[in-house]
Amino acid sequence: MTFTGSFRKVKLEKTEVIKIKLDFLDTNSYVIYGDGVNFLIDPGSESEKIIKYLEKRKKDLDFIINTHCHFDHIGAADTIAEYFKIPVYIHQNEEDILKNPSKNLSSFFNVNTLLLKTYKLIYGKEVKDFLSKKIDIINTPGHTPGSIIIKYDNYLFTGDLIFKDSIGRTDLPGGNPAEMRQSLNYVKNLEKNLIIFPGHGIDTTIEDELKSNYFLNH
């Protein structure tokens, strides 16, 4: 693993993950260079910073995918998508959050513009082999109705479902404690060696969270 400022690189054979820590609410955005696919997760802010990094790498970006549509995770997606002429994907159950400034929390930060001009929807509870790119997408409601986790290679991108020793809030618009519990139960049964890259905070693993995360043990 190598560190360069607010960028962290993690490499496993054919897959490279770059974590970009954004200043706004310390949100983590991720660039994944995989086997025949390159994509961006949760570009919440600082579009210029992300674009500059992507341009420097000189690799095509295939799409953007958002774990959910809170403003701190999707705020820069439209600008980046327009710049690279690529689509943005969200889960179908997240469309209502996206379109409502009070639900996506953009109004709380005095931003009342449309967050995404165009986007594509992901349908279904589980989407295996997304776009034939060996990407698994699972709808895990609780933080928001359309929250998803993304599994690629040995990595699990959890958005605001699970953090190191904690979980996402359920008291924001669209949150649901019962659904959160069901989603956490699903994650508990995934492979123990999966590396978790959360929407905020540091990396962890399923195995470590099963040992230390209160919300996965009670």
Domains of the chain: 2-216 (3.60.15.10)
Hey, what amino acid is at 59?
Answer: K
- For helices 47-57 and 77-84, give the axis angle rounded to 10 degrees: 30
Using pLDDT thresholds of 50, 70 and 90, give the confidence band for residue 11.
Answer: low
Read off the pLDDT of residues 43-54 as tens digits, 9 standing for 90 and up: 999 999 999 999
pLDDT at residue 1 tops 60:
no
Phi, psi of 142 (to 5 degrees): 145, -55
Q: What angle do CA 176, 143, 25 make, to 5 degrees?
A: 145
pLDDT at residue 181 tops 80:
yes
How far is the CA of 66 from the CAs of 58, 95, 134, 192, 217, in angstroms? 22, 12, 17, 24, 28
E strands, the chain, are 2-4, 7-12, 15-21, 28-33, 38-41, 63-65, 88-91, 120-122, 126-127, 135-139, 148-152, 155-159, 162-163, 166-167, 195-198, 204-205
- Write down the pTM of the prediction: 0.93
Read off the pLDDT of residues 31-79 as tens digits, 9 standing for 90 and up: 999 999 999 999 999 999 999 999 999 889 999 999 999 999 999 999 9
d(CA 98, CA 115): 7
pLDDT value at residue 109: 84
Average pLDDT over residues 79-104: 96
